[in-house]
Protein backbone atom coordinates (compact mmCIF):
# COMPACT_ATOMS: atom_id res chain seq x y z
CA UNK A 1 0.00 0.00 0.00
CA UNK A 2 2.87 2.41 0.76
CA UNK A 3 5.50 0.92 -1.53
CA UNK A 4 7.36 -0.70 1.36
CA UNK A 5 7.54 -4.41 2.13
CA UNK A 6 6.28 -5.64 5.50
CA UNK A 7 9.80 -6.60 6.62
CA UNK A 8 11.07 -3.12 5.81
CA UNK A 9 8.09 -1.50 7.55
CA UNK A 10 8.67 -3.57 10.69
CA UNK A 11 12.36 -2.65 10.65
CA UNK A 12 11.46 1.04 10.40
CA UNK A 13 8.98 0.68 13.26
CA UNK A 14 11.63 -0.96 15.43
CA UNK A 15 14.07 1.90 14.87
CA UNK A 16 11.41 4.57 15.47
CA UNK A 17 9.99 2.94 18.61
CA UNK A 18 13.49 2.56 20.06
CA UNK A 19 14.24 6.25 19.45
CA UNK A 20 10.84 7.32 20.78
CA UNK A 21 11.28 5.37 24.01
CA UNK A 22 14.73 6.93 24.51
CA UNK A 23 13.32 10.43 23.93
CA UNK A 24 10.48 9.94 26.43
CA UNK A 25 12.25 8.09 29.23
CA UNK A 26 11.57 10.90 31.68
CA UNK A 27 8.00 11.39 30.55
CA UNK A 28 6.45 14.36 28.85
CA UNK A 29 3.18 15.33 27.29
CA UNK A 30 1.21 12.61 25.51
CA UNK A 31 1.81 12.53 21.76
CA UNK A 32 -0.84 13.67 19.31
CA UNK A 33 0.05 10.77 17.02
CA UNK A 34 1.43 7.32 17.72
CA UNK A 35 4.77 6.25 16.26
CA UNK A 36 2.95 3.97 13.81
CA UNK A 37 0.71 6.82 12.66
CA UNK A 38 3.76 9.04 12.17
CA UNK A 39 5.35 6.41 9.94
CA UNK A 40 2.09 5.91 8.03
CA UNK A 41 1.76 9.67 7.50
CA UNK A 42 5.35 9.91 6.26
CA UNK A 43 4.92 7.06 3.82
CA UNK A 44 1.63 8.54 2.58
CA UNK A 45 3.32 11.89 2.06
CA UNK A 46 6.24 10.38 0.15
CA UNK A 47 4.21 7.88 -1.88
CA UNK A 48 0.98 9.68 -2.73
CA UNK A 49 2.24 13.30 -2.96
CA UNK A 50 -0.65 14.43 -0.77
CA UNK A 51 -0.53 17.76 1.01
CA UNK A 52 0.16 17.91 4.72
CA UNK A 53 -3.26 19.52 5.26
CA UNK A 54 -5.03 16.49 3.76
CA UNK A 55 -2.97 14.02 5.73
CA UNK A 56 -3.58 16.07 8.88
CA UNK A 57 -7.31 15.85 8.19
CA UNK A 58 -7.07 12.05 8.16
CA UNK A 59 -5.54 12.03 11.65
CA UNK A 60 -7.36 15.04 13.10
CA UNK A 61 -4.20 17.09 13.62
CA UNK A 62 -2.77 20.27 12.12
CA UNK A 63 -0.39 20.67 9.20
CA UNK A 64 2.45 21.63 11.55
CA UNK A 65 2.04 18.38 13.52
CA UNK A 66 2.28 16.37 10.30
CA UNK A 67 5.32 18.39 9.22
CA UNK A 68 7.08 17.78 12.54
CA UNK A 69 6.21 14.08 12.42
CA UNK A 70 7.56 13.65 8.89
CA UNK A 71 10.77 15.46 9.76
CA UNK A 72 11.23 13.36 12.90
CA UNK A 73 10.69 10.09 11.03
CA UNK A 74 13.04 11.06 8.18
CA UNK A 75 15.78 12.34 10.51
CA UNK A 76 15.54 9.34 12.83
CA UNK A 77 15.78 6.83 9.98
CA UNK A 78 18.62 8.79 8.36
CA UNK A 79 20.61 8.97 11.62
CA UNK A 80 20.27 5.23 12.13
CA UNK A 81 22.04 4.67 8.81
CA UNK A 82 20.01 1.63 7.76
CA UNK A 83 17.84 3.54 5.27
CA UNK A 84 20.36 6.00 3.86
CA UNK A 85 20.44 6.82 0.15
CA UNK A 86 23.70 7.61 -1.62
CA UNK A 87 24.52 11.28 -2.06
CA UNK A 88 24.50 13.28 -5.29
CA UNK A 89 28.25 12.88 -5.80
CA UNK A 90 27.97 9.08 -5.88
CA UNK A 91 25.14 9.25 -8.40
CA UNK A 92 27.08 11.71 -10.59
CA UNK A 93 30.17 9.49 -10.66
CA UNK A 94 28.13 6.42 -11.55
CA UNK A 95 26.73 7.87 -14.77
CA UNK A 96 29.57 8.73 -17.13
CA UNK A 97 27.45 8.91 -20.28
CA UNK A 98 26.11 12.26 -21.39
CA UNK A 99 22.40 12.27 -22.01
CA UNK A 100 20.37 14.83 -23.90
CA UNK A 101 16.78 15.78 -23.38
CA UNK A 102 14.97 17.49 -26.23
CA UNK A 103 11.95 19.57 -25.39
CA UNK A 104 9.62 21.06 -27.98
CA UNK A 105 9.00 24.67 -26.97
CA UNK A 106 7.43 25.90 -30.19
CA UNK A 107 4.95 28.68 -29.68
CA UNK A 108 1.48 28.01 -30.91
CA UNK A 109 -0.86 30.90 -31.72
CA UNK A 110 -4.09 31.24 -29.78
CA UNK A 111 -7.13 32.43 -31.69
CA UNK A 112 -8.78 35.21 -29.78
CA UNK A 113 -12.09 36.78 -30.72
CA UNK A 114 -11.85 40.03 -32.64
CA UNK A 115 -13.23 43.18 -31.07
CA UNK A 116 -16.15 44.51 -33.10
CA UNK A 117 -18.85 47.03 -32.40
CA UNK A 118 -21.35 44.25 -31.78
CA UNK A 119 -19.15 42.55 -29.20
CA UNK A 120 -18.57 45.74 -27.21
CA UNK A 121 -21.48 46.66 -24.96
CA UNK A 122 -21.71 50.34 -24.28
CA UNK A 123 -23.58 51.78 -21.35
CA UNK A 124 -26.44 54.05 -22.22
CA UNK A 125 -26.29 57.52 -20.84
CA UNK A 126 -29.25 58.63 -18.85
CA UNK A 127 -31.30 61.57 -20.12
CA UNK A 128 -30.98 63.44 -16.83
CA UNK A 129 -27.84 65.55 -16.37
- List the chain domain ranges: 6-90
User: Containing H/E element for 17?
Assistant: helix 6-23
How high is the pLDDT of residue 30? Answer: 77
Which of these, 56, 55, 47, lies nearest to 2 by C-alpha position? 47
Give tens-digit pLDDT for 23-57: 888 777 778 899 999 999 998 888 888 889 999 99
Which of these, 99, 72, 76, lies nearest to 11 by C-alpha position? 76
| Regions in the chain scoring below 50 on pLDDT | none
* CA separation for the pair 119, 128 (Å, rounded): 27
How high is the pLDDT of residue 89? Answer: 66
Within 25-124, residue ranges assigned H as helices are 35-48, 52-59, 63-80, 88-94
Model confidence pTM above 0.95: no
How high is the pLDDT of residue 31? Answer: 80
- CB distance 15 to 35 below 8 Å: no
Give the CA-trace dihedral at 51, 55, 61, 63, to 10 degrees: -10
* CA separation for the pair 24, 26 (Å, rounded): 5
How high is the pLDDT of residue 65? Answer: 92
Amino acid sequence: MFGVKIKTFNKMMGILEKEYSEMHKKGGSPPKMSVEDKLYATLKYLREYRTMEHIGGDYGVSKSTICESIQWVENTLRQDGTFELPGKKVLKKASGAIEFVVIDVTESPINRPKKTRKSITRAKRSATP
